Amino acid sequence: MNEMFTSYGDWALFFSLAIKAREEKCIAEAKQWLILYSQKNDLAIPDDGEIRYIIDDVHEWLAKFDENWADNLIHR
């Protein structure tokens, strides 16, 4: 894999862009990140529907993370 997209920081940036996309109802920045990621890794470029699906997945993952974190704190 190339130098870009090799750190957690790269993925944190995408997660931030996905959150922003949902809040602002604009997928442009998340789309740009995903297109660049796809190009750098020789993957198919996702269409807008796939990008919205990926953004939804990010939000579902974060909601589950939040739930698990809270549960861990409660049951220490």
Q: pLDDT tens track of the chain, all 76 residues?
A: 456 677 889 999 999 999 999 999 999 999 999 999 999 989 999 999 999 999 999 999 999 998 888 888 888 8
Q: Tell me, what's the pLDDT at 1?
A: 44
DSSP the chain: --STT-SHHHHHHHHHHHHHHHHHT--HHHHHHHHHHHHHTT-PPP-HHHHHHHHHHHHHHHHHHHHHHHHHHHT-
